[in-house]
Amino acid sequence: MNRKLFLLVLLSVLSLLSVQAWGQDYPPDIQRITDRGKLIVAMYVNDIPPFYMHDEKGTFYGLDVELATDIAAKLGVEVEFKRDYKTFSDIVDGIVRHEADVAITLLSRTLERAKKVRFTRPYIILRQGLLISRIRIAQRERQLTLMEILNDSGSEIGVKAGTSYVAFAKQRFPRAVVREYPEWDPDIIAAVLKGDVIAAFHDEIEIKKVVIGKPETALHLQTVVLKDTEDPIAMAVPRDSTHLLSWLELYLETVNPDWTTDKLLKKYSKSLQKEN
């Protein structure tokens, strides 16, 4: 009798759970967002124009901000930016821990990061670039090509710590010394201007921002965009957020962002000039 009673109770509980599960309007990863009433977006702690920045009135804007706000609106919720991540590696780890629903933060899509999180298709593809010390280059052997000089044991390449460019630099310049700095500006730019490193390595937007905002540096720095490279920028979600990933893929397919570096710099050119 006790066994029959136990089975009846168990069946009732399972039936109730089944009804509740089917009664949900959306799959669990979407339901969490709608129940909460807001989309939590992981983003780097410091502003990186033109992707996310503040104007003189304190208004938060930029490409990633506009994308996140529009995504939240189409999900029918508010947007909340979680900005306590000091490196991009920290952002990926935060997504793994479900601290945010999605990362929209100038995040490079790499094979190493894809071991931990799921990525959407890129919404913009950048190229890699270099700021090169003219003085340091002039001191090197002239029979060598520029890339041969950079990929040499006597060369130092400055990169921002906790970004994909640490790995990119080691792959592109395996013989050089890769030096990591906390920030691109002022740390790495100052290092290459002083000659502490022979080159600074980052995406082409950061390279072009220096040209736009600090034209006086042209006397000291040579700029190079590596046309044979790609730095795909994508959104990242936790590995179990499969339905949210599908939704974001459809969103990108629907809005069809056609961003290029030049279009982005043109749209936010006034903001970049004010920044510098």
The tens digit of pLDDT for each residue in 144-185 reads 899 999 999 999 999 999 999 999 999 999 999 999 999 999
Question: What pLDDT is attached to residue 142?
Answer: 78
Q: For all residues of the chain together, what is the average pLDDT?
A: 91
Q: Identify the weakest region by mean pLDDT among 19-28, 91-100, 165-174.
A: 19-28
β-pairing verdict for 118-119 and 177-181? unpaired
Mean pLDDT of 26-37: 96
Q: Are strands 53-54 and 60-61 parallel, antiparallel or unpaired?
A: antiparallel
CA distance 35 to 107: 27
pLDDT of residue 45: 97
Q: Is 226 helix (H, G, I), strand (E, B) or coil?
A: strand
Q: Tell me the average pLDDT across 34-46.
A: 98
Q: For the chain, what percent of residues have pLDDT higher than 70?
A: 90
The reported pLDDT for the residue numbered 274 is 58
CATH 3.30.830.10 fits 24-123+234-275, yes or no: no
Residue 68 has pLDDT above 60, yes or no: yes
Name the superfamily (CATH) of residues 127-231: Periplasmic binding protein-like II (3.40.190.10)
* Residue carrying the six token digits 């630099």: 169
Query: Where are the CATH 3.40.190.10 domain residues in the chain?
Result: 24-123+234-275, 127-231
pLDDT of residue 126: 96
The two three-digit tokens of residue 178, written as one number: 């890769």
